[in-house]
Amino acid sequence: MPLKLPKIIGHRGCAGYAPENTLEGIHTAADMGIEWVELDVKITKDEIPIIFHDDTLDRTTNGSGNIADKTLEEIRELECGSWYGESFSGLQVPTLEEVIDVLLERNLGLNLEIKPCPGREKETAEVALDLLSTIWDDHDRLLISSFQHVSLETAADIAEDWHRGLLLPEKWPENWEDLVKYLQISTINVNAATVTREQVEDIMDLEKPILAYTVNEPDQARLLQSWGIDGFFSDTPDVLKEGIFVVH
């Protein structure tokens, strides 16, 4: 079934207006009329999938240390909003299950980025996809992406027919085209700050949608769109929505 990709995806929920990877951010994106959000998933020490970006707690919670060393119960004692703004104090790190409930309630599509702690590439994909397979039916509005090829390979093994996105960092792996074929990739997601016009043209030869992260300035979006980029991850999706060309 074809992917119904929007032009703009709220990055880490809606990270320009609410703490990243929180239920609050998902509601903020939905309130703006944004159709999809991107969220990062990793697993706790006790293998519960949670929505969190960093490998450590320090930047976005009042705790410290490695996520991989903490149980869900320990992480739930922390709060993850006040680093962003006092009005968000008291927010908890959500589980994947909780965010799916909100996404379904708000009728949002999801780009779930598998963001494993080092060494947990396979398990993180397994746990996240196992849970998703029990509660998510709408596969034209679900994209599983990762920088980690093992995670994508695991996703392909578990759910071959789900859409997968290959995240390309600043320095592309030399075998990126082979990866696209081997992992049966639906979208190629590039770093907006470093991608070149030539690279975009190379991807266009494969005739797959190209998404760029993270774009908050309409001028940058328009330039990338003129090169052939199809969609954008944005912390400020409302700003981008006003500023890009809508091509039907």
> By the criterion CB under 6 A, which residues form the site for ligand G3P?
11, 38, 40, 53, 113, 145, 167, 189, 213, 233
CB of 122 to Mg ion, least distance (A): 19
Pairing of strands 187-191, 163-167: parallel
For Mg ion, the closer of residues 41 and 91 by Cβ is 41
- Tokens matching residue 161: 């027919």
CA gyration radius, the chain: 17
Catalytic residues: 11, 53
For ligand G3P, the closer of residues 74 and 150 by Cβ is 150
* Residue in 53, 116, 38, 111 with CA at minimum distance from that of residue 83: 53
CB of 73 to Mg ion, least distance (A): 25
**Residue 243: which H helix or E strand, with range?**
helix 237-243
CA separation for the pair 18, 85 (Å, rounded): 9
CA separation for the pair 196, 186 (Å, rounded): 21
3-state SS track over 141-187: HEEEEECCHHHHHHHHHHCCCCEEEEECCCCCCCCHHHHHHHCCCCE
Q: Which residues contact 166 (CB under 8 A, 6 or more apart)?
A: 145, 146, 152, 176, 179, 180, 183, 185, 187, 188, 189
CA separation for the pair 187, 164 (Å, rounded): 7
For ligand G3P, the closer of residues 11 and 70 by Cβ is 11
| 93-112: contacts with Mg ion (CB under 5 A) | none
145 binds, among Mg ion, ligand G3P, none (CB under 5 to 8 A by kind): ligand G3P
For ligand G3P, the closer of residues 37 and 127 by Cβ is 37
Decide: is 113 part of the binding site for Mg ion (CB under 5 A): yes
Q: Give the three-state DSSP class for 132.
A: helix
CB of 102 to Mg ion, least distance (A): 18
CB of 12 to ligand G3P, least distance (A): 6
| x/- letters, 17..56, toward Mg ion (CB under 5 A) | -----------------------x----------------
CB of 73 to ligand G3P, least distance (A): 26
Decide: is 235 part of the binding site for Mg ion (CB under 5 A): no
| 191-220: contacts with Mg ion (CB under 5 A) | none
- Tokens matching residue 196: 């070149």
Decide: is 126 part of the binding site for Mg ion (CB under 5 A): no
For ligand G3P, the closer of residues 38 and 126 by Cβ is 38
43 binds, among ligand G3P, Mg ion, none (CB under 5 to 8 A by kind): none
Q: Which residue is nearest to ligand G3P (CB)?
A: 213
Which single residue is written with the structure tokens 């996703």?
155
Binding site for Mg ion (CB under 5 A): 40, 113
